[in-house]
Amino acid sequence: MNELVTVEGLSLSFHSGSGWTRVLHQVSFSILRGEVLGLVGESGCGKSTIGLALLGYKAKNARIDAGRVLYKGQDLLRLERSELDRLRGDRIGFVPQNPTTALNPGMRVGEQLAETLNLHGRSQNLEERLRELFGLVGLSRIERIAERYPHELSGGQQQRVCIAIALACDPDLVVLDEPTTGLDVTTQEQIISLLRELRARLGMAMLYVTHDLGLLAQIASRIGVMYAGHLVELANARLLFREPRHPYTQGLIGSVPRIEAPRGDAPAPLRGLLRRQDLPPGCPFSPRCPLSTDRCGREPQKLASIDGNHAVACWRWPETTLLAGHVAIPAAPSRGDMVNPLLELRNVSIAYGVRSGLLGRLLPGQPFAAVTNLDVVIGQGETFALVGESGSGKSTVARAVSGLLPPRSGQICFNRKQLQPMVQHRSSEQRRRIQYIFQNPDASLNPRARVGTILARPVKLWGASDIRARVTAALADVRLDSAYAMRFPDELSGGERQRVAIARALVAEPALLICDEVLSALDVSVQANILDLLKRLRRERNLTLLFISHDLAVVRSIADRVGVLFRGELMSVGPVERIFAPPHHPYTLSLLEAVPKIEHVENRKPRPPAMPSAANMAPRCAYAGRCAFQLGRTCIDIEPPWQETGGGLRIRCHIPLQELAALSELGRMPASAAVTVP
Amino acid sequence: MSTVERAAAAPSLWTKLAETPLSLRIGAAILFLHLLVAATGPLWAPYGYSQMATGIPLAPASLAHPFGVDQLGRDVFSRVIHGGHIVLLLSLSGTALGLVIGSLIGLLSGYVGGLVDNVVQRLLEALISIPFLVLALLAMVAAGPELSGNPLLVVFVVALVYAPRIARMARTAAIEISTRDFVTIAKLRGESAVSVMRRELLPNATSILLVEFALRAGYAPVLIGSLGFLGFGLRPPTPEWGLMISENRSLVMIAPATVIGPGLALASLVVGLNLFTEGIARILGRTVRLGVQQ
Amino acid sequence: MFVTRLIAQRLVMALFTLLLVSFLIYAVLEILPGDVATRILGRDATAQSIAALRERLHLNDPALLRYLRWLGGVLHGDFGESLVSSRRVLEVLAPRVMNTAFLSAYAFLLYIPLATIPALIQAVRRDRPVDHAMSVITLVLLSMPDFLLGTLLLLLFVLAIPVLPAMSTVDQTSDLAEYLRATTLPALTLAIVMAVYAVRMLRDNLIEVLDADYIRMAELRGVPARRVVWRHALPNALVPSLNVTALNLAYLVGGVVVVEKVFGYPGFGSLLVDSLQLRDFPLIEATILIAAAVYIAANFLADVAAILLNPKLRTG
């Protein structure tokens, strides 16, 4: 009796304005004591609903159509509230997706943690237990942590508090619902290693719900793949990555851009879109499946075991190995005409909170320096990526280039002519040649205008006459049917809206396209499609791209050169292969290590997190405070020099290049350099 | 390989209609009734609105006189019917005028920002600081004694009272809409302020403004009724409902129907308007706060 | 400290608004084009009476000077002389303001339970028949003008159930008991008008809080339902409800005007109406200024309370 929790044939529907929609179809699986089961799928596949069901929770507008969730012989879905109250927080814990909203803003965190302990009868030695728990999640170094309010903590710290609450009563099972979405990559890595460590120590079982397959590779022992409410594959993690059998799983794995893959490889993305209204009675994936036949559409597929550790819901599983693997495309020659640079940023500094004009002189505000002394040259036809975490200033740079935010100092030149800082002062031609695509497709299209009108406006403005034809051509360019012109944005999916935004930018026939995190708001498979689209369009029109992103894997796939930003300062810049190969700037190294990789299913020893030095007032190297290899006062008092490698990579660091190259292998500082932390 | 996506089928008009909330349907029904009576009433009302000696003064309600007879011998029921169009006309036109003035000022001020916006905001704050009724009364008095009783004055005063509040709403809407990326894209194209207002701001503000209109129009009868009740609205013998309640109030003990009659009419109109407002708001995805405090 | 700076900012804005209002009031009445004296006395007034009035009110002085003189007086508590009774305005105002203050306090006391209890019931029993029934009742009561409501209450409690007096006249000789009897009906009227507005808003606020992520999280941690409502939801619903109360206080200022007239209560509101009818400009200016001042003060207090209660401004 190794099973802790068993889900049996769970079917569930949600009620909305237009009736009941089935969201889970006959889902069955078990979680064994002490194992980590990962549940992966894209948005709307029902994984979060299952996670909540393991706590006996269903939303108010949900209805159980069939099935049970068995824990110690009891069906959690049919228990009374009082009985559930006893189990929840005590035997079964929950770590939420958004820790900021999950903590009561008006209650101190210590009080919220203590509440859980008190409610479940563990009030002896409360103070000590609180200290112990905060120490367990790595928060003991924060002064008087128990008395803090949630808003005084960072996202990562808030999530640690939530983990502490989930573990307070030593539960048998912890359900985690996308616990690291919305956190920075490096914070994400810290949380994952914390979870791994805790599991090793406490031995509880986990259900880890996420859309990120790479994450599961770090932590899960078994993985279940969900599509449109069906569990389509369930296997031991290693097995799943080595031999995925369900076509959807293969497409999902193929959609994730790889950091290590050679540049030329294009992943094999999933075709088409999930349309809930058009789901066939049989396998839900059949409309998009390259192997589908009539039988697939008719016959519902049950999850069937193909050997002890592997179950698939596809009758064609013996043939699906044919699909595995990448499609290799010969590497394109490096792009970018640097002789005629398209965009130059010379010594650009940008700040927020600067008041202009008379008011600015009378009441100088407290400007916040967002970008400092940036020097970047982008050649015609090349794709330059700007990477960094949130707050690094990359979007600020984009806004300055487009003319929305004037730099405090420095120049921006386009085609060798200096650009006016504000967009209103630029020429119409300059405005046309620089186009911008925003992150959030919901906000970047006027909800009250039809797609056709949205696309026609730039055409009209920049003086072309054959509007209808151009709009249809633009839609075709982004692979949308001409009927889309009559639709309103809210009738389109997220991916479709982003395509319209791209079409709108292209219809002006620009030279420079600024892509500001254009993939971040989309599902993984949709991301792959849009990425594909951008590459093709760039090839066809010889576009120059300024590509802003925090996602290194995407950048690896599309960029020619990369600049790495930390707190508004350029740390490293160079051709994309050089950036991803040693020697790395210490910050680049930490970013690369933080990215979850599918290949490393083995447990990797995590690097100890960097110690934030206490008394660092405006160090010369912006990264000094967080750098694991900081050279003491050198990094604080002296401006780090730019060092250049043979392959065109430039790194701004005091540590010599040979030692930097050695860092990624050894994982520790060579003895020669002195490390003194003030 | 990528394929050309086909657009999903758009929901038809019928499905949208069938989903109208109950409140909207009931509200619309009540309003329709009121409109009908207001428009056709004078044709079939038993008596004229100032016709006296229709029955025994202060007689209780009866079949011949459903709302009784007032002390001047006039049939209250007929008066109520005759007065329907007055309230409706004054309410709707006053609110409409207020809406036009208010939204223009508010949208412009919100989008332009800067010093202009600051000044406008201060002025609006000051005007809103004077309670509704008090402001209306102030305006009435300031207009001088000759204009008292003039329906146009009432319309203007209603517009004056509502415009600042509507302007504040429109300003907030303009500010919020201006933060959205598609407005930034328009700015990046170099569009003029007027063009942005017309194409990007106004279409996205219509739902807010529509709800504002419905909300204010719902309370205009109360405002006008209050003015009439206090003797500052229209003059007798106009059959304005608030005025009627005031006239008949002193004798409410003896002849309660003469007060309940116009009261019922007024209350039911406001109920209809409120339900309609709630329904519209639900369709447009907004929340409203009904209440005279607005 | 950041918080004190915020509050100071609000205070400055409030005072500035009040100043602006005072100017608006004075301007509308006395500075607008057209002769002030004629506006007061009417077109049929004799030339002598107009001249006499002009003299009395110093209307020949420049407008701005008159405003500043008036403003200066106000800051010293001197609102001038009533045109009708020739008594100092302050003398006329003071007892009326006290009366209205009593009435308002009474109305507020009645309003609090009338608003909070139904809101709680509705929020906890959301979408059940109780909720719908209460919504209907509040809607109907909402839609009634206050003068109608007052008159109907009069009918109910004086005619049908004779417990209270029809007219609420009180004077200096009345004692507390008489005050209470006289003000119960008007206070009840005001309380109901305020409560039906507040119930809807409180219900929505409570529901919004109950739908919040941290409430769901509390449930998922095993916190019993009752504790979720009392310890987690209510404290966070407190802040938005302050806004409601401020709006209601603001309503009160205007609402007393009508309600006092309905019941013949000698308060601030009926004074305003009388002075308007008699075109007693100094009295009008004073009463409206006070009304606006109370409104602004109420909003200011609500702002301050919101700032102080905002968890994001608290530190551990």
Determine whether the interchain pair A403/B188 forms a contact, defined as Cβ–Cβ distance below 8 Å.
yes
CA distance B4 to chain A (A): 5
| Greatest CA separation for chain A | 80
Determine whether the interchain pair C200/B289 forms a contact, defined as Cβ–Cβ distance below 8 Å.
yes
pLDDT value at residue A386:
93
CA distance A537 to chain B (A): 13
Q: How sure is the predictor about B156, in pLDDT bands with cuts at 50, 70 and 90? A: very high
Contacts of C213 in chain A (CB under 8 A): 96, 98, 101-102
CA distance B174 to chain C (A): 23
Is residue C63 classed exposed, middle or buried when 0-12, 13-18 and 19+ CB atoms within 10 A define those classes?
Answer: middle
pLDDT value at residue A608:
47
pLDDT digits (tens, 9 = 90+) for A557-613: 899 999 999 888 999 999 988 888 888 888 888 888 887 766 544 444 445 444 444
Determine whether the interchain pair C217/A105 forms a contact, defined as Cβ–Cβ distance below 8 Å.
no
What are B206's strand-pairing partners?
Answer: none
Which of A238-242, B227-231, B249-253 bottoms out in mean pLDDT, i.e. has the lowest? B249-253
Q: How sure is the predictor about A666, in pLDDT bands with cuts at 50, 70 and 90? A: low
CA distance B225 to chain C (A): 8
Of A89, A102, A148, the CB nearest to C222: A89
- Please, are residues A481 and A451 in contact by the beta-carbon 8 Å criterion? no
Determine whether the interchain pair A423/B188 forms a contact, defined as Cβ–Cβ distance below 8 Å.
yes
pLDDT value at residue A299:
82
Which residue in B has a C-alpha nearest to residue C278's C-alpha? B141
Nearest in space to A159 (alpha carbons), one of A187, A193, A185, A186: A187
- Cβ–Cβ pairs < 8 A, chains A and B: 85
Determine whether the interchain pair C17/B222 forms a contact, defined as Cβ–Cβ distance below 8 Å.
no
Chain B contact probe: residue of A277, A289, A420, A448 with most B CBs at under 10 A: A448
Please give the structure tokens belonging to residue A535. 């590459």
How many CB atoms are closer than 10 A to CB B79? Answer: 30
pLDDT value at residue B45:
82
Please give the structure tokens belonging to residue B249. 């109030």
List the 9-48 stretch of C: residues with Cβ below 8 A of A: none
List the 194-223 stretch of C: residues with Cβ below 8 A of A: 212-214, 217-223
Q: Is the pLDDT of residue A96 over 90?
A: yes
Label residue A567 left, alpha or beta by phi (over 0 means left) and psi (-120 to 50 means alpha): left
Report the pLDDT averaged over residues A59-73: 90
CB contact C20 to B (< 8 Å)? yes
List the 331-390 stretch of A: residues with Cβ below 8 A of B: none
Report the pLDDT averaged over residues B131-141: 86
Report the pLDDT averaged over residues A66-70: 93
Q: How sure is the predictor about A615, in pLDDT bands with cuts at 50, 70 and 90? A: very low
pLDDT digits (tens, 9 = 90+) for C176-195: 877 888 888 899 999 999 99
pLDDT above 90 covers a percentage of chain A that reads: 31
State the angle between helix axes of B241-249 and B202-229 in degrees (0 to 180), rounded to the nearest 10. Answer: 30
Determine whether the interchain pair A479/B3 forms a contact, defined as Cβ–Cβ distance below 8 Å.
yes
CB contact C144 to B (< 8 Å)? yes
How many CB atoms are closer than 10 A to CB A380? Answer: 19
pLDDT value at residue A267:
47
Contacts of A272 in chain B (CB under 8 A): 3, 5
DSSP class of A355: P
Q: How far apart are alpha carbons B169 and B110 in whole angstroms?
A: 10
Q: What DSSP string runs through B75-130? A: BHHHHHHHHHHHHHHHHHHHHHHHHHHHHHHHHHHHHH-HHHHHHHHHHHHHHHTS
pLDDT value at residue A669:
35
How many CB atoms are closer than 10 A to CB C86? Answer: 8
Which of A242-251, A430-439, B52-61 bottoms out in mean pLDDT, i.e. has the lowest? B52-61
pTM over 0.90: no
What are chain A's partners, defined as 3 or more CB pairs within 8 angstroms?
Answer: B, C
Q: How sure is the predictor about A501, in pLDDT bands with cuts at 50, 70 and 90? A: very high
Q: Where are the alpha helices (DSSP H) in chain C?
A: 2-26, 36-41, 47-56, 63-75, 89-124, 129-142, 146-154, 176-210, 213-220, 225-227, 234-263, 268-277, 281-309
Q: Is the pLDDT of residue A671 over 70?
A: no
Top-confidence residue, A101 or B20: A101
Rg (CA), chain A: 27
pLDDT value at residue A611:
47
Top-confidence residue, C45 or A34: A34
pLDDT value at residue A327:
46
Residue A669 backbone phi and psi in degrees, to 5: -75, 135
Of A85, A116, A147, the CB nearest to C316: A147
- Cβ–Cβ pairs < 8 A, chains A and C: 72
Q: Is the pLDDT of residue A317 over 70?
A: yes
Contacts of C212 in chain A (CB under 8 A): 101
Chain A contact probe: residue of C125, C221, C227 with most A CBs at under 10 A: C221
Determine whether the interchain pair B181/A272 forms a contact, defined as Cβ–Cβ distance below 8 Å.
no
Q: How far apart are alpha carbons A588 and A564 in whole angstroms?
A: 7
Report the pLDDT averaged over residues A103-108: 90
Please give the structure tokens belonging to residue A228. 């449109």
Contacts of C140 in chain B (CB under 8 A): 267, 271
- Sheet (strand A383-387) strand order: A434-437, A512-516, A544-549, A383-387, A561-566, A569-575, A650-652, A642-644
CB contact C28 to B (< 8 Å)? yes
Determine whether the interchain pair A119/C222 forms a contact, defined as Cβ–Cβ distance below 8 Å.
yes
CB contact C5 to A (< 8 Å)? no
State the average pLDDT for chain A: 83
Q: How far apart are alpha carbons A505 and A508 in whole angstroms?
A: 6
Top-confidence residue, A149 or C278: A149
Q: How far apart are alpha carbons A275 and C228 in whole angstroms?
A: 39
Top-confidence residue, C239 or A70: A70
Of A88, A105, A108, the CB nearest to C312: A105
- Please, are residues A347 and A404 in contact by the beta-carbon 8 Å criterion? no
- Please, are residues A140 and A164 in contact by the beta-carbon 8 Å criterion? no
Chain A contact probe: residue of C5, C219, C220 with most A CBs at under 10 A: C220
Contacts (Cβ under 8 Å, ≥6 apart) of A220: A36, A37, A38, A208, A237
pLDDT value at residue A677:
28
- Cβ–Cβ pairs < 8 A, chains B and C: 163
Is residue A128 classed exposed, middle or buried when 0-12, 13-18 and 19+ CB atoms within 10 A define those classes?
Answer: exposed
Report the pLDDT averaged over residues A389-395: 84
What are A29's strand-pairing partners?
Answer: A7
pLDDT digits (tens, 9 = 90+) for C81-136: 777 777 888 888 888 898 899 999 999 999 999 998 998 899 888 888 899 899 88
Which of A139-143, B239-243, C95-99 bottoms out in mean pLDDT, i.e. has the lowest? A139-143
Give the Cα-Cα-Cα angle C188, C194, C200 (nearest 5 degrees).
Answer: 130
Q: What DSSP string runs through B9-34? A: PPPPHHHHHHT--HHHHHHHHHHHHH
Q: Which amino acid is at A566?
A: F
Contacts of B3 in chain A (CB under 8 A): 271-272, 479
